[in-house]
Amino acid sequence: MTGGNAIRGTRVGAGPMGESERGESAPRKRVDYWCANGHHTRPSFAMDAEVPEEWDCPRCGLPAGQDEENPPEARRNEPYKSHLAYVKERRSDSDGMAILEEALTKLKERKGR
């Protein structure tokens, strides 16, 4: 027995391929975008679609704009902050000590000391 497979390279239920089976594709327009690193990308959009002002560069991830001479600035990434860091932004050390003392006093009262 020979080891061939008659349906190799096709999917079950794939059907015929081609524009005649899928219908006409929408008219397209290509838009040029440049990032701060000088990368150029040209995504295509449907003619009636709203074209975004910025597009993420597929090479470096920076925002890209339609003006080659003035690409958009890189977004500033905020480092991860813990819950404690956010609390320390809202309260001073003296506020924290006052809250701690109040909580300890309530705890001691509950325990009967």
Question: Which residues are part of a known binding site for Zn(2+)?
Answer: 35, 39, 57, 60
Of 45, 75, 79, the closest CA to residue 57 belongs to 75
Q: Are 32 and 40 a contacting pair, CB within 8 Å? A: yes
Which residues sit in the known binding site?
35, 39, 57, 60
